[in-house]
Protein backbone atom coordinates (compact mmCIF):
# COMPACT_ATOMS: atom_id res chain seq x y z
CA UNK A 1 0.00 0.00 0.00
CA UNK A 2 2.82 2.45 0.80
CA UNK A 3 4.17 2.67 -2.79
CA UNK A 4 0.64 3.35 -4.09
CA UNK A 5 0.05 6.04 -1.48
CA UNK A 6 3.38 7.70 -2.30
CA UNK A 7 2.46 7.80 -5.99
CA UNK A 8 -0.92 9.35 -5.12
CA UNK A 9 0.82 12.05 -3.10
CA UNK A 10 3.21 12.75 -5.98
CA UNK A 11 0.36 12.94 -8.54
CA UNK A 12 -1.47 15.51 -6.42
CA UNK A 13 1.55 17.45 -5.18
CA UNK A 14 0.70 20.55 -7.27
CA UNK A 15 -2.96 20.64 -6.22
CA UNK A 16 -3.19 23.14 -3.38
CA UNK A 17 -6.74 22.02 -2.50
CA UNK A 18 -5.75 18.43 -1.71
CA UNK A 19 -3.42 17.08 0.99
CA UNK A 20 -2.34 13.44 1.35
CA UNK A 21 -1.19 12.39 4.82
CA UNK A 22 -0.63 9.26 6.91
CA UNK A 23 -0.70 8.28 10.59
CA UNK A 24 0.94 5.33 12.37
CA UNK A 25 -2.12 3.70 13.94
CA UNK A 26 -0.01 1.56 16.25
CA UNK A 27 1.15 4.74 17.95
CA UNK A 28 -2.20 6.56 17.97
CA UNK A 29 -4.74 4.45 19.86
CA UNK A 30 -6.91 7.48 20.69
CA UNK A 31 -7.27 8.33 17.00
CA UNK A 32 -8.18 4.71 16.25
CA UNK A 33 -11.02 4.88 18.77
CA UNK A 34 -12.19 8.34 17.66
CA UNK A 35 -12.40 7.45 13.98
CA UNK A 36 -13.54 3.83 14.47
CA UNK A 37 -10.45 2.28 12.90
CA UNK A 38 -10.84 -1.51 13.02
CA UNK A 39 -8.12 -2.61 10.61
CA UNK A 40 -5.07 -1.30 8.76
CA UNK A 41 -4.84 0.43 6.42
CA UNK A 42 -7.96 2.56 6.86
CA UNK A 43 -8.35 5.57 4.53
CA UNK A 44 -10.24 8.58 5.94
CA UNK A 45 -11.47 11.65 4.06
CA UNK A 46 -11.47 15.03 5.83
CA UNK A 47 -12.97 18.28 4.52
CA UNK A 48 -12.36 21.63 6.18
CA UNK A 49 -10.91 19.85 9.19
CA UNK A 50 -13.90 17.53 9.66
CA UNK A 51 -14.03 13.75 9.13
CA UNK A 52 -16.44 13.12 6.26
CA UNK A 53 -16.26 9.42 5.47
CA UNK A 54 -14.11 6.29 5.24
CA UNK A 55 -12.84 5.50 1.73
CA UNK A 56 -14.12 2.13 0.47
CA UNK A 57 -13.10 2.18 -3.20
CA UNK A 58 -10.31 0.59 -5.18
CA UNK A 59 -6.81 1.00 -3.78
CA UNK A 60 -5.06 1.98 -6.98
CA UNK A 61 -3.32 5.24 -7.89
CA UNK A 62 -5.90 6.14 -10.55
CA UNK A 63 -8.83 5.37 -8.24
CA UNK A 64 -7.44 7.45 -5.38
CA UNK A 65 -6.58 10.41 -7.63
CA UNK A 66 -9.99 10.36 -9.34
CA UNK A 67 -11.78 10.08 -6.01
CA UNK A 68 -9.92 13.00 -4.43
CA UNK A 69 -10.30 15.28 -7.45
CA UNK A 70 -14.06 14.68 -7.42
CA UNK A 71 -14.15 16.05 -3.87
CA UNK A 72 -12.96 19.46 -5.12
CA UNK A 73 -15.21 21.93 -6.97
CA UNK A 74 -18.99 21.99 -7.43
CA UNK A 75 -20.92 18.74 -7.11
CA UNK A 76 -23.49 19.85 -9.71
CA UNK A 77 -22.20 20.29 -13.24
CA UNK A 78 -24.22 22.66 -15.45
CA UNK A 79 -25.62 21.28 -18.72
CA UNK A 80 -25.51 23.92 -21.43
CA UNK A 81 -26.55 21.77 -24.39
CA UNK A 82 -27.73 18.25 -25.19
CA UNK A 83 -24.30 17.21 -26.42
CA UNK A 84 -23.06 17.13 -22.81
CA UNK A 85 -24.66 13.69 -22.32
CA UNK A 86 -24.00 12.24 -25.78
CA UNK A 87 -20.95 10.29 -24.68
CA UNK A 88 -22.69 8.86 -21.60
CA UNK A 89 -21.45 5.31 -20.99
CA UNK A 90 -22.99 4.72 -17.58
CA UNK A 91 -25.52 6.91 -15.75
CA UNK A 92 -26.08 10.59 -15.08
CA UNK A 93 -28.48 12.12 -12.57
CA UNK A 94 -29.95 15.33 -13.99
CA UNK A 95 -32.02 17.94 -12.19
CA UNK A 96 -34.15 20.49 -14.05
CA UNK A 97 -35.20 23.39 -11.85
CA UNK A 98 -36.28 27.01 -12.34
CA UNK A 99 -35.46 27.76 -8.69
CA UNK A 100 -33.32 26.24 -5.97
CA UNK A 101 -35.90 26.97 -3.29
CA UNK A 102 -37.82 23.70 -3.55
CA UNK A 103 -37.52 20.78 -1.15
CA UNK A 104 -36.64 18.43 -4.04
CA UNK A 105 -33.84 20.72 -5.24
CA UNK A 106 -32.30 20.77 -1.75
CA UNK A 107 -32.46 16.97 -1.54
CA UNK A 108 -30.95 16.73 -5.02
CA UNK A 109 -28.09 19.17 -4.24
CA UNK A 110 -27.29 17.46 -0.92
CA UNK A 111 -27.28 14.03 -2.54
CA UNK A 112 -25.00 15.28 -5.34
CA UNK A 113 -22.53 16.54 -2.76
CA UNK A 114 -22.59 13.28 -0.79
CA UNK A 115 -22.26 11.04 -3.87
CA UNK A 116 -19.88 13.14 -5.94
CA UNK A 117 -17.22 10.41 -5.76
CA UNK A 118 -19.61 7.71 -7.03
CA UNK A 119 -21.97 9.29 -9.57
CA UNK A 120 -22.19 12.27 -11.93
CA UNK A 121 -24.83 14.90 -11.15
CA UNK A 122 -25.90 17.65 -13.55
CA UNK A 123 -28.26 20.59 -13.32
CA UNK A 124 -30.30 22.21 -16.12
CA UNK A 125 -31.65 25.74 -15.75
CA UNK A 126 -32.62 26.72 -19.33
CA UNK A 127 -35.90 25.47 -20.81
CA UNK A 128 -34.36 25.12 -24.28
CA UNK A 129 -31.70 22.74 -22.94
CA UNK A 130 -34.35 20.75 -21.08
CA UNK A 131 -36.37 20.34 -24.30
CA UNK A 132 -33.30 19.19 -26.19
CA UNK A 133 -32.91 16.46 -23.54
CA UNK A 134 -36.63 15.61 -23.90
CA UNK A 135 -37.33 16.83 -20.37
CA UNK A 136 -40.76 18.44 -20.25
CA UNK A 137 -41.21 19.22 -16.54
CA UNK A 138 -39.13 20.19 -13.54
CA UNK A 139 -37.70 17.35 -11.45
CA UNK A 140 -34.92 14.78 -11.25
CA UNK A 141 -34.10 12.40 -14.09
CA UNK A 142 -31.74 9.46 -14.44
CA UNK A 143 -30.15 8.93 -17.87
CA UNK A 144 -28.62 5.48 -18.29
CA UNK A 145 -26.73 3.65 -21.00
CA UNK A 146 -26.25 0.04 -19.95
CA UNK A 147 -24.76 -2.22 -22.62
CA UNK A 148 -25.83 0.19 -25.34
CA UNK A 149 -29.43 0.37 -24.12
CA UNK A 150 -30.31 3.99 -23.35
CA UNK A 151 -33.12 4.84 -20.96
CA UNK A 152 -34.46 7.92 -19.16
CA UNK A 153 -36.35 7.67 -15.87
CA UNK A 154 -38.10 10.42 -13.94
CA UNK A 155 -38.17 10.46 -10.14
CA UNK A 156 -41.77 10.49 -8.90
CA UNK A 157 -41.34 9.77 -5.20
CA UNK A 158 -41.49 11.95 -2.09
CA UNK A 159 -39.04 14.89 -2.36
CA UNK A 160 -36.95 13.70 0.59
CA UNK A 161 -33.24 12.94 0.58
CA UNK A 162 -33.91 9.33 1.62
CA UNK A 163 -36.45 8.64 -1.12
CA UNK A 164 -34.31 10.22 -3.81
CA UNK A 165 -31.17 8.39 -2.65
CA UNK A 166 -32.93 5.01 -2.67
CA UNK A 167 -34.31 5.66 -6.16
CA UNK A 168 -30.91 6.66 -7.56
CA UNK A 169 -29.13 3.61 -6.14
CA UNK A 170 -31.93 1.24 -7.18
CA UNK A 171 -31.51 2.36 -10.79
CA UNK A 172 -27.71 2.77 -10.75
CA UNK A 173 -27.15 -0.69 -12.26
CA UNK A 174 -29.36 -3.06 -14.26
CA UNK A 175 -30.89 -6.14 -12.63
CA UNK A 176 -28.40 -8.43 -14.44
CA UNK A 177 -24.70 -7.61 -14.39
CA UNK A 178 -21.32 -8.92 -15.38
CA UNK A 179 -19.07 -8.23 -12.40
CA UNK A 180 -16.85 -5.15 -12.42
CA UNK A 181 -15.43 -2.90 -9.72
CA UNK A 182 -18.08 -0.33 -10.61
CA UNK A 183 -20.87 -2.90 -10.21
CA UNK A 184 -19.37 -4.14 -6.94
CA UNK A 185 -19.41 -0.65 -5.47
CA UNK A 186 -23.09 -0.15 -6.33
CA UNK A 187 -24.47 -3.56 -5.39
CA UNK A 188 -24.53 -2.93 -1.64
CA UNK A 189 -25.89 0.59 -2.14
CA UNK A 190 -28.74 -0.77 -4.27
CA UNK A 191 -29.72 -2.79 -1.21
CA UNK A 192 -31.26 -5.80 -2.96
CA UNK A 193 -30.33 -9.42 -2.15
CA UNK A 194 -27.58 -10.53 -4.55
CA UNK A 195 -27.83 -13.77 -6.52
CA UNK A 196 -24.41 -14.62 -7.97
CA UNK A 197 -23.39 -17.22 -10.47
CA UNK A 198 -19.69 -17.98 -10.08
CA UNK A 199 -17.44 -19.70 -12.59
CA UNK A 200 -13.65 -19.72 -13.11
CA UNK A 201 -11.38 -17.31 -14.98
CA UNK A 202 -10.48 -20.10 -17.40
CA UNK A 203 -14.14 -20.83 -18.10
CA UNK A 204 -15.68 -17.35 -18.26
CA UNK A 205 -15.17 -16.63 -21.98
CA UNK A 206 -16.80 -19.90 -22.93
CA UNK A 207 -19.89 -19.57 -20.71
CA UNK A 208 -20.38 -15.81 -20.24
CA UNK A 209 -23.15 -15.46 -22.80
CA UNK A 210 -24.92 -18.61 -21.65
CA UNK A 211 -24.88 -17.72 -17.95
CA UNK A 212 -25.90 -14.09 -18.52
CA UNK A 213 -28.90 -15.34 -20.54
CA UNK A 214 -29.71 -17.69 -17.67
CA UNK A 215 -29.74 -14.80 -15.20
CA UNK A 216 -31.66 -12.56 -17.61
CA UNK A 217 -34.37 -15.21 -17.91
CA UNK A 218 -34.54 -15.52 -14.12
CA UNK A 219 -34.91 -11.74 -13.73
CA UNK A 220 -37.96 -11.84 -16.01
CA UNK A 221 -39.81 -14.43 -13.91
CA UNK A 222 -42.86 -12.73 -12.32
CA UNK A 223 -41.99 -14.29 -8.95
CA UNK A 224 -38.41 -13.00 -9.06
CA UNK A 225 -38.55 -9.68 -10.91
CA UNK A 226 -37.51 -6.75 -8.77
CA UNK A 227 -36.26 -9.00 -5.96
CA UNK A 228 -32.55 -9.52 -6.71
CA UNK A 229 -29.46 -7.99 -8.18
CA UNK A 230 -28.14 -10.76 -10.47
CA UNK A 231 -24.36 -10.96 -10.99
CA UNK A 232 -22.12 -13.20 -13.08
CA UNK A 233 -18.59 -13.33 -11.72
CA UNK A 234 -15.53 -15.57 -11.51
CA UNK A 235 -14.04 -17.26 -8.48
CA UNK A 236 -11.02 -14.96 -8.69
CA UNK A 237 -13.17 -11.81 -8.98
CA UNK A 238 -15.34 -12.96 -6.11
CA UNK A 239 -12.36 -12.57 -3.79
CA UNK A 240 -13.17 -12.52 -0.08
CA UNK A 241 -16.82 -13.42 -0.71
CA UNK A 242 -15.66 -16.98 -1.47
CA UNK A 243 -14.74 -17.50 2.17
CA UNK A 244 -18.26 -16.52 3.27
CA UNK A 245 -19.53 -19.67 1.56
CA UNK A 246 -16.39 -21.87 1.77
CA UNK A 247 -16.25 -21.92 -2.04
CA UNK A 248 -13.58 -23.67 -4.09
CA UNK A 249 -13.00 -23.10 -7.83
CA UNK A 250 -15.70 -24.81 -9.92
CA UNK A 251 -17.35 -24.41 -13.33
CA UNK A 252 -20.74 -23.50 -11.86
CA UNK A 253 -21.70 -22.30 -8.38
CA UNK A 254 -24.42 -19.97 -7.11
CA UNK A 255 -25.05 -18.06 -3.91
CA UNK A 256 -27.53 -15.58 -2.44
CA UNK A 257 -26.35 -12.92 0.00
CA UNK A 258 -28.93 -10.80 1.82
CA UNK A 259 -26.84 -8.08 3.50
CA UNK A 260 -29.81 -6.42 5.15
CA UNK A 261 -30.85 -9.59 6.98
CA UNK A 262 -27.27 -10.90 7.27
CA UNK A 263 -28.34 -14.20 5.70
CA UNK A 264 -26.49 -16.41 3.19
CA UNK A 265 -27.67 -19.25 1.01
CA UNK A 266 -25.53 -21.68 -0.98
CA UNK A 267 -26.78 -23.48 -4.09
CA UNK A 268 -26.07 -27.18 -4.39
CA UNK A 269 -26.86 -28.18 -7.94
CA UNK A 270 -26.10 -27.93 -11.64
CA UNK A 271 -26.58 -25.07 -14.10
CA UNK A 272 -30.11 -26.09 -15.18
CA UNK A 273 -32.60 -23.25 -15.30
CA UNK A 274 -35.33 -25.01 -13.32
CA UNK A 275 -33.03 -25.94 -10.43
CA UNK A 276 -31.63 -22.42 -10.17
CA UNK A 277 -35.14 -20.99 -10.40
CA UNK A 278 -36.27 -23.26 -7.53
CA UNK A 279 -33.29 -22.03 -5.49
CA UNK A 280 -34.20 -18.37 -6.06
CA UNK A 281 -37.89 -18.97 -5.39
CA UNK A 282 -36.98 -20.82 -2.21
CA UNK A 283 -35.34 -17.63 -0.97
CA UNK A 284 -38.45 -15.60 -1.77
CA UNK A 285 -40.73 -18.10 0.00
CA UNK A 286 -38.28 -18.33 2.94
CA UNK A 287 -38.00 -22.10 2.64
CA UNK A 288 -34.24 -22.19 2.06
CA UNK A 289 -31.96 -23.16 4.93
CA UNK A 290 -29.29 -20.48 5.52
CA UNK A 291 -25.68 -21.44 5.01
CA UNK A 292 -23.63 -21.16 8.20
CA UNK A 293 -19.87 -21.48 8.26
CA UNK A 294 -18.41 -23.45 11.12
CA UNK A 295 -14.92 -24.27 12.31
CA UNK A 296 -14.50 -27.78 13.77
CA UNK A 297 -16.07 -28.02 17.22
CA UNK A 298 -13.56 -28.59 20.05
CA UNK A 299 -13.51 -32.22 21.21
CA UNK A 300 -13.50 -30.98 24.79
CA UNK A 301 -14.17 -27.59 26.38
CA UNK A 302 -11.13 -26.53 28.34
CA UNK A 303 -10.92 -23.59 30.73
CA UNK A 304 -13.67 -21.33 32.04
CA UNK A 305 -14.54 -19.71 28.70
CA UNK A 306 -16.62 -21.88 26.36
CA UNK A 307 -15.55 -21.97 22.70
CA UNK A 308 -18.49 -21.59 20.31
CA UNK A 309 -18.45 -22.51 16.60
CA UNK A 310 -21.21 -22.28 14.01
CA UNK A 311 -22.36 -25.87 14.55
CA UNK A 312 -22.58 -25.49 18.36
CA UNK A 313 -24.14 -21.99 18.42
CA UNK A 314 -27.66 -23.28 19.08
CA UNK A 315 -26.50 -25.74 21.73
CA UNK A 316 -24.45 -23.24 23.75
CA UNK A 317 -25.63 -19.69 23.00
CA UNK A 318 -29.32 -20.45 22.47
CA UNK A 319 -29.64 -22.64 25.58
CA UNK A 320 -32.80 -21.13 27.10
CA UNK A 321 -31.67 -21.87 30.66
CA UNK A 322 -28.43 -19.87 30.39
CA UNK A 323 -27.47 -16.19 30.26
CA UNK A 324 -24.61 -16.21 27.73
CA UNK A 325 -22.09 -13.39 27.41
CA UNK A 326 -20.56 -13.94 23.98
CA UNK A 327 -17.47 -12.29 22.54
CA UNK A 328 -17.28 -12.44 18.74
CA UNK A 329 -13.66 -11.78 17.83
CA UNK A 330 -11.12 -11.87 15.00
CA UNK A 331 -7.68 -13.42 15.55
CA UNK A 332 -5.95 -10.43 13.90
CA UNK A 333 -7.84 -7.80 15.93
CA UNK A 334 -5.62 -5.85 18.34
CA UNK A 335 -8.54 -4.91 20.61
CA UNK A 336 -9.51 -8.60 20.80
CA UNK A 337 -5.97 -9.57 21.79
CA UNK A 338 -6.04 -6.97 24.56
CA UNK A 339 -9.38 -8.34 25.78
CA UNK A 340 -8.28 -12.01 25.85
CA UNK A 341 -6.67 -12.07 29.35
CA UNK A 342 -9.58 -10.03 30.77
CA UNK A 343 -12.06 -12.47 29.22
CA UNK A 344 -10.23 -15.41 30.78
CA UNK A 345 -10.26 -13.68 34.18
CA UNK A 346 -13.99 -13.01 33.78
CA UNK A 347 -14.64 -16.68 33.04
CA UNK A 348 -12.67 -17.72 36.10
CA UNK A 349 -14.34 -15.08 38.29
CA UNK A 350 -17.86 -16.18 37.32
CA UNK A 351 -17.33 -19.93 36.92
CA UNK A 352 -19.50 -20.69 39.95
CA UNK A 353 -22.49 -18.66 38.71
CA UNK A 354 -24.61 -21.50 37.41
CA UNK A 355 -26.87 -19.55 35.04
CA UNK A 356 -24.07 -17.53 33.38
CA UNK A 357 -21.86 -18.74 30.53
CA UNK A 358 -18.83 -16.76 29.33
CA UNK A 359 -18.17 -17.70 25.71
CA UNK A 360 -16.22 -16.65 22.63
CA UNK A 361 -16.50 -17.29 18.89
CA UNK A 362 -14.12 -16.56 16.01
CA UNK A 363 -16.26 -14.35 13.78
CA UNK A 364 -13.95 -14.85 10.79
CA UNK A 365 -14.65 -18.60 10.64
CA UNK A 366 -18.13 -19.00 12.09
CA UNK A 367 -21.59 -17.60 11.43
CA UNK A 368 -24.46 -16.91 13.79
CA UNK A 369 -27.95 -18.01 12.72
CA UNK A 370 -29.74 -14.68 12.86
CA UNK A 371 -29.39 -10.99 12.02
CA UNK A 372 -30.04 -10.35 15.73
CA UNK A 373 -26.39 -11.27 16.30
CA UNK A 374 -25.10 -8.63 13.91
CA UNK A 375 -21.35 -7.98 14.07
CA UNK A 376 -20.52 -4.30 13.62
CA UNK A 377 -16.81 -4.67 14.37
CA UNK A 378 -14.42 -6.73 16.42
CA UNK A 379 -14.84 -7.49 19.19
CA UNK A 380 -18.63 -7.50 19.37
CA UNK A 381 -19.84 -8.48 22.85
CA UNK A 382 -23.44 -9.60 23.27
CA UNK A 383 -25.44 -10.79 26.26
CA UNK A 384 -27.90 -13.43 25.07
CA UNK A 385 -30.37 -13.63 27.96
CA UNK A 386 -32.07 -16.78 29.20
CA UNK A 387 -35.62 -17.16 27.85
CA UNK A 388 -35.14 -14.17 25.52
CA UNK A 389 -32.70 -15.38 22.90
CA UNK A 390 -34.16 -13.28 20.08
CA UNK A 391 -33.10 -10.02 21.77
CA UNK A 392 -29.37 -10.00 22.56
CA UNK A 393 -28.05 -6.91 24.39
CA UNK A 394 -24.87 -5.27 23.12
CA UNK A 395 -22.24 -4.44 25.74
CA UNK A 396 -20.82 -0.95 25.24
CA UNK A 397 -19.08 -0.20 28.54
CA UNK A 398 -15.49 -0.35 29.75
CA UNK A 399 -13.89 -3.74 29.14
CA UNK A 400 -13.03 -4.71 32.72
CA UNK A 401 -14.06 -7.70 34.84
CA UNK A 402 -15.94 -5.38 37.19
CA UNK A 403 -17.89 -3.68 34.36
CA UNK A 404 -18.78 -7.01 32.75
CA UNK A 405 -20.04 -8.41 36.05
CA UNK A 406 -22.08 -5.28 36.75
CA UNK A 407 -23.56 -5.44 33.25
CA UNK A 408 -24.54 -9.08 33.74
CA UNK A 409 -26.18 -8.47 37.12
CA UNK A 410 -28.16 -5.55 35.71
CA UNK A 411 -29.47 -7.55 32.75
CA UNK A 412 -30.13 -11.05 34.14
CA UNK A 413 -33.13 -12.21 36.18
CA UNK A 414 -31.22 -14.59 38.45
CA UNK A 415 -27.74 -15.09 39.88
CA UNK A 416 -27.35 -18.69 41.01
CA UNK A 417 -24.00 -19.27 42.72
CA UNK A 418 -22.92 -22.86 43.37
CA UNK A 419 -23.01 -23.69 47.05
CA UNK A 420 -24.86 -20.52 48.00
CA UNK A 421 -27.91 -21.08 50.22
CA UNK A 422 -29.57 -17.92 48.99
CA UNK A 423 -29.10 -16.11 45.71
CA UNK A 424 -28.13 -12.44 46.04
CA UNK A 425 -30.71 -9.91 44.99
CA UNK A 426 -30.22 -8.58 41.49
CA UNK A 427 -31.68 -5.68 39.62
CA UNK A 428 -34.96 -6.03 37.77
CA UNK A 429 -34.66 -6.99 34.13
CA UNK A 430 -33.25 -4.07 32.12
CA UNK A 431 -35.51 -2.13 29.87
CA UNK A 432 -35.34 -3.40 26.30
CA UNK A 433 -34.10 -0.02 25.13
CA UNK A 434 -31.28 0.28 27.69
CA UNK A 435 -28.79 -1.13 25.20
CA UNK A 436 -29.12 -0.45 21.53
CA UNK A 437 -27.89 -3.03 19.03
Q: C-alpha distances in angstroms, 60 versus 32, 45, 52, 408, 417?
A: 24, 16, 21, 46, 57
pLDDT, position 429: 42
- Is residue 121 very low, low, confident or very high in pLDDT (cuts 50, 70, 90)? very high
| Phi, psi angle pair for 263, to nearest 5° | -125, 145
On whether the CB atoms of residues 269 and 340 are closer than 8 A, the answer is no
Q: C-alpha distances in angstroms, 427 versus 384, 387, 420?
A: 17, 17, 18
On whether the CB atoms of residues 224 and 284 are closer than 8 A, the answer is yes
CA separation for the pair 326, 309 (Å, rounded): 11
pTM of the model: 0.70
- Is residue 421 very low, low, confident or very high in pLDDT (cuts 50, 70, 90)? low
pLDDT, position 434: 39
**Mean pLDDT across the stretch 63-91?**
83
- Per-residue pLDDT for 435 more than 60? no
- Per-residue pLDDT for 427 more than 90? no
Task: Give the pLDDT confidence of 297-345 residue by residue, as tens digits.
Answer: 999 999 999 999 999 999 999 999 999 999 999 999 999 999 999 999 9
For residues 53-65, b (16+ Cβ closer than 10 Å) or e, as one string? eebeeeeebebbb
Tell me what percent of the residues of the chain surpass a pLDDT of 70.
Answer: 95
**Mean pLDDT across the stretch 121-126?**
94
pLDDT, position 219: 95
CA separation for the pair 158, 235 (Å, rounded): 41
Between 432 and 51, whose confidence is greater?
51
Tell me what percent of the residues of the chain surpass a pLDDT of 90.
Answer: 69
CA separation for the pair 167, 190 (Å, rounded): 9
pLDDT, position 37: 87
Q: Which residues contact 346 (CB under 8 A, 6 or more apart)?
A: 305, 325, 358, 401, 404, 405
Mean pLDDT, the chain, whole residue set: 90
Helix (H, G, I), strand (E, B) or coil at 143: strand
- Is residue 294 very low, low, confident or very high in pLDDT (cuts 50, 70, 90)? very high
Task: Give the pLDDT confidence of 151-197 residue by residue, as tens digits.
Answer: 999 999 999 999 999 999 999 999 999 998 778 878 888 989 999 99
**Mean pLDDT across the stretch 350-372?**
93
Between 415 and 437, whose confidence is greater?
415
pLDDT, position 430: 42
Cα 59 from chain centroid (whole Å): 18
Return the closest-CA partner of residue 170 out of 145, 149, 142, 146. Answer: 142
Cα–Cα–Cα angle for 201, 206, 207, rounded to 5 degrees: 85
- Is residue 47 very low, low, confident or very high in pLDDT (cuts 50, 70, 90)? confident
- Per-residue pLDDT for 132 more than 60? yes
| Phi, psi angle pair for 246, to nearest 5° | 55, 45
Q: C-alpha distances in angstroms, 428 versus 318, 322, 351, 404, 415?
A: 22, 17, 22, 17, 12
Amino acid sequence: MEPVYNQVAAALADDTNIAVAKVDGNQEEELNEKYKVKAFPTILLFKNGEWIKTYEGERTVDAFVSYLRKQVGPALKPVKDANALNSLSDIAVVGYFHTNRTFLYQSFANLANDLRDSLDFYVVKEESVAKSLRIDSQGVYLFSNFNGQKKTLQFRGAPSYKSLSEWVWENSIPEVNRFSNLVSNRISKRGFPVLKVITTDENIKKVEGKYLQLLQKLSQEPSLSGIFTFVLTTFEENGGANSLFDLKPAEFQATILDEEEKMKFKYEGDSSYENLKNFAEGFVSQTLKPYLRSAPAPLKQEGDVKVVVGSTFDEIVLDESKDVLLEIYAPWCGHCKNLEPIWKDLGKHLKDVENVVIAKMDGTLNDSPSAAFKVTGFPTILLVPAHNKASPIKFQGSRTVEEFESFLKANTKSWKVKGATEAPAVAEEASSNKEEL
